[in-house]
């Protein structure tokens, strides 16, 4: 009986244990599934794309809300109306690269995510995995690095990173025999591992980085959004890699892949380049991610001041951004892929010849530039793209007498001289769809202009404008051009006059040009990105004197009359077929790392310069002439 009782008790205990274990297992399994589901939901909820959609929705509600339907008090109505107005204005300005509007929008996004969306120290890692640096992408690491450096160096953050770690030196990354300027994924990872530790980033830092990532995919310019704001020469995209249209050309694709030796094929949307201190540098670790994202950037980045629609029939747009940067956007079928070029210009505090020219004997060159401007000499600043023509032109304008008025004609506003010289009498004009450059020039003649500046002589009509401006309506003219040599400059301007029909004779057209141009400042950019004045050239027109014989009137012999007429005809055709109407010489030349004064200025130009200078400057100029070419 006792044995039966014990067995029954044990059986009951066993059954109870089994039931308890079964329910425990069920509960644990259910909880685990719920935890997994919860984690997956959080991963999705706090991902960049979902939070971006949340921000869009919130901003739409704020900007489209009908406040009259809410029955608000007067005070609350005014507050909400101001918020609505400010947000609308900021969203529009942020799309035009307005730094203050961008900051306002990001601050509002920050507050919405932290206070309303409940982003915290834990779930923020679903957006960017700050808890495990090994899982960060090259873009994540770069943006964290840039954020950390921006806190101390602001717009010089990227410059500081590049110079501190020597990232602007050529590397043999793509070809063992040919160096190129590139910043690689490995370099960014090495710098990140050296600079950034887990405890370095506060929650606010992490949220600011996430906000920037959301912003650049919403109202910003994708991966170049923060880069564009840095103090660099420029940034471009879509200018390397394989255009999508190339993939449609199936024939020959296998051979192309074989040539790539198994390397990842970069697409056009993997193309991010910066122009840093004269060097075109490829950021191989960054990508727009898709053709549609590159297209979105191209379609939005040029929109400041409503320049018109970019379309298949209008395949490119040239405009400026709100901060004065020049923007050029191109699209298929005009270009082989979507592409853009942002050209930034040095901020006003950096515009000085003392900082632009760094080589030996630069002081005398700077003094010469001052006298060319104060002497009212028509001067062409020439050189290849990116060599610093526009920057030098902005810098030397400080030597102009404040009493002389300045009128500027440009294709797109680039010089922005009034930002640098706010106390000078300056007015800039540009072409529009309804006002041509010629009409702008005609208007300029009625605006009391003292010196006329042409931003860039790049087309035949503009060359004709330059000649007109230099001959009439102003004291003197300054302009930039892409000519490589001084004869190339004269020939190019002469041919432009012929092409638009101003002249029919090459000789007459050339005479017009050489009688206008006084000096040519030619800039170069070294292979290391260094910019310098290669030469300063003086143009010396050759005066032709026609010595015709009028003795045919004194004779009645027809044969003698004919002989004398033929002598005059020979003299005429000799002058009309002269090989050149000018000579030229370099007054300054760059050689072996220093500026050398080679040939003195001709007496004709010296006297003309003295006539335009103040008495004090005349004395200093005479002294300079005496010692400069010794």
Q: How is 415-446 classified by DSSP, letter by letter?
A: --HHHH-TTS-EEEEE--SSS-HHHHHHHHTT
pLDDT at 402: 86
pLDDT at 260: 54
pLDDT at 387: 82
Residue 241 falls in which region: left (phi positive, over 0), alpha (psi -120 to 50) or beta: left
Q: Taking residues 166-170, report their average pLDDT.
A: 89
CA dist 90 and 84 (Å) reads 10
Percent of the chain exceeding pLDDT 70 equals 86
Q: Taking residues 263-272, report their average pLDDT.
A: 84
Per-residue pLDDT tens over the stretch 183-202: 999 999 999 999 999 889 99
Q: Which two tokens stand for residue 568?
A: 């005059």
Most confident of 13-17, 302-306, 362-366, 578-582: 362-366
pLDDT at 349: 54
Angle between helices 460-471 and 486-499 (to 10 degrees): 100
CATH number of 123-244+260-343: 3.30.450.90
Classify strands 426-430 and 406-410 as parallel, antiparallel or unpaired.
parallel
3-state secondary structure of 577: coil
Nearest CA to 452 out of 432, 470, 431 is that of 470
Q: Taking residues 538-551, report their average pLDDT.
A: 72
Contact 451, 478 (CB under 8 A): yes
pLDDT at 530: 79
pLDDT at 452: 85
- Torsion, CA 445, CA 446, CA 452, CA 455, rounded to 10: -90
Q: Which residues pair with 360 in a beta bridge?
A: 594
pLDDT at 255: 59
For the domain made up of 348-542+582-628, the CATH class stated in words is alpha beta
Judged against a pLDDT cut of 70, whether residue 257 lies above it is answered with: no
Kindly indicate the confidence band of residue 579, based on its pLDDT and cuts at 50, 70 and 90. low
Per-residue pLDDT tens over the stretch 372-428: 999 999 999 998 877 888 888 888 988 998 888 888 887 777 777 888 888 888 888
What lies within 8 Å, CB to CB, of 90 at 6+ separation is 101, 104, 105, 108
Q: Taking residues 44-70, report their average pLDDT.
A: 87
Kindly indicate the confidence band of residue 249, based on its pLDDT and cuts at 50, 70 and 90. low
Per-residue pLDDT tens over the stretch 350-385: 567 887 888 889 999 999 999 999 999 999 999 887
Range with the poorest average pLDDT among 127-136, 244-253, 487-496, 565-574: 244-253
Judged against a pLDDT cut of 60, whether residue 535 lies above it is answered with: yes
Percent of the chain exceeding pLDDT 90 equals 38
> What are the percentages of helix, strand and coil residues in the chain, rounded to 5?
50, 15, 35
Kindly indicate the confidence band of residue 502, based on its pLDDT and cuts at 50, 70 and 90. confident
Per-residue pLDDT tens over the stretch 7-52: 777 777 877 887 777 667 666 665 555 545 556 677 888 999 999 9
What lies within 8 Å, CB to CB, of 593 at 6+ separation is 359, 360
Judged against a pLDDT cut of 70, whether residue 314 lies above it is answered with: yes
- By CB neighbour count within 10 A (0-12 exposed, 13-18 middle, 19+ buried), where does 621 fall? buried
- The mean pLDDT value of the chain amounts to 84
Contact 516, 471 (CB under 8 A): yes
Judged against a pLDDT cut of 80, whether residue 290 lies above it is answered with: yes
Of residues 601 and 450, which shows the higher confidence score? 601
Of residues 262 and 235, which shows the higher confidence score? 235
3-state secondary structure of 372: helix
Kindly indicate the confidence band of residue 226, based on its pLDDT and cuts at 50, 70 and 90. very high
Q: Taking residues 305-325, report their average pLDDT.
A: 86
Most confident of 63-77, 217-231, 390-404, 474-488: 217-231
pLDDT at 37: 57
Kindly indicate the confidence band of residue 55, based on its pLDDT and cuts at 50, 70 and 90. very high
Nearest CA to 130 out of 147, 113, 118 is that of 147
């Amino acid at each position: 009986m006792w044995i039966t009782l014990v067995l029954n008790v044990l059986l009951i205990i066993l059954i109870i244990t089994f039931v308890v274990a079964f329910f425990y297992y069920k509960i644990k399994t259910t909880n685990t599934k719920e935890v997994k589901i919860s984690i997956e939901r959080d991963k999705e909820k706090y991902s960049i794309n979902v939070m971006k959609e949340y921000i869009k929705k919130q901003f739409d509600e704020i900007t489209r809300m009908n406040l009259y339907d809410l029955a608000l008090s007067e005070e609350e109505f005014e507050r909400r109306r101001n918020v609505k107005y400010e947000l609308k204005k900021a969203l529009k300005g942020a799309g035009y690269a307005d730094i203050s509007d961008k900051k306002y929008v990001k601050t509002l996004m920050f507050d919405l995510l932290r206070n309303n969306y409940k982003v915290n120290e834990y779930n923020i890692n679903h957006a960017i995995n700050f808890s495990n640096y090994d899982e960060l992408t090259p873009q994540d690491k770069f943006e964290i690095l840039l954020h950390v450096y921006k806190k101390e160096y602001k717009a010089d953050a990227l410059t500081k990173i590049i110079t501190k770690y020597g990232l602007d030196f050529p590397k043999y990354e793509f070809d063992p025999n040919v160096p190129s300027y590139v910043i690689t994924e490995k370099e960014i990872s090495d710098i990140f591992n050296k600079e950034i530790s887990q405890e370095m980033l506060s929650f606010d830092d992490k949220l600011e980085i996430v906000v920037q990532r959301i912003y650049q995919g919403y109202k910003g310019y994708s991966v170049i959004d923060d880069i564009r704001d840095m103090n660099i020469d420029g940034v471009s995209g879509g200018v390397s890699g394989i255009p999508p249209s190339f993939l449609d050309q199936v024939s020959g694709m296998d051979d192309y892949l074989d040539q790539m030796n198994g390397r990842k094929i970069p697409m056009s949307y993997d193309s991010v380049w910066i122009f840093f201190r004269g060097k075109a540098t490829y950021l191989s670790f960054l990508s727009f991610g898709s053709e549609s994202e590159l297209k979105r950037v191209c379609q939005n980045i040029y929109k400041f001041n409503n320049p018109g629609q970019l379309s298949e029939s209008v395949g490119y747009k040239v405009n400026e951004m709100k901060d004065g940067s020049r923007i050029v956007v191109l699209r298929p079928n005009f270009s082989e892929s979507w592409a853009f070029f942002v050209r930034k210009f040095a901020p006003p505090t950096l515009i000085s010849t003392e900082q632009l020219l760094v080589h030996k004997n630069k002081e005398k060159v700077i003094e010469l530039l001052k006298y060319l401007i104060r002497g009212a000499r028509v001067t062409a600043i020439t050189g290849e793209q990116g060599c610093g023509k526009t920057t030098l032109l902005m810098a030397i304008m400080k030597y102009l007498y404040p009493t002389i008025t300045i009128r500027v004609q440009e294709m797109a506003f680039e010089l922005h001289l009034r930002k640098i010289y706010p106390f000078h009498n300056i007015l800039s004009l540009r072409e529009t769809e309804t006002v041509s450059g010629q009409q702008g020039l005609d208007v300029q003649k009625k605006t009391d202009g003292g010196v006329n500046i042409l931003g860039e002589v790049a087309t035949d009509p503009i060359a004709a404008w330059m000649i007109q401006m230099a001959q009439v309506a102003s004291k003197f003219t300054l302009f930039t051009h892409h000519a490589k040599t001084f004869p190339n400059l004269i020939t190019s301007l002469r041919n432009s006059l012929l092409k638009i029909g101003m002249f029919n004779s090459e000789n007459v057209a050339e005479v017009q040009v050489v009688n206008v141009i006084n000096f040519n400042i030619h800039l170069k950019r070294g292979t290391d990105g260094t910019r310098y004045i290669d030469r300063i050239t003086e143009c010396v027109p050759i005066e032709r004197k026609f010595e015709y014989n009028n003795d045919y009137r004194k004779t009645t012999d027809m044969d003698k009359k004919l002989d004398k007429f033929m002598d005059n005809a020979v003299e005429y055709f000799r002058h009309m077929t002269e090989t050149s109407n000018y000579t030229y010489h370099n007054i300054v030349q760059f050689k072996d790392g220093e500026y050398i004064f080679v040939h003195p200025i001709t007496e004709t130009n010296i006297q003309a310069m003295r006539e335009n200078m103040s008495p004090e400057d005349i004395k200093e100029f005479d002294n300079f002439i005496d010692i400069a070419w010794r």
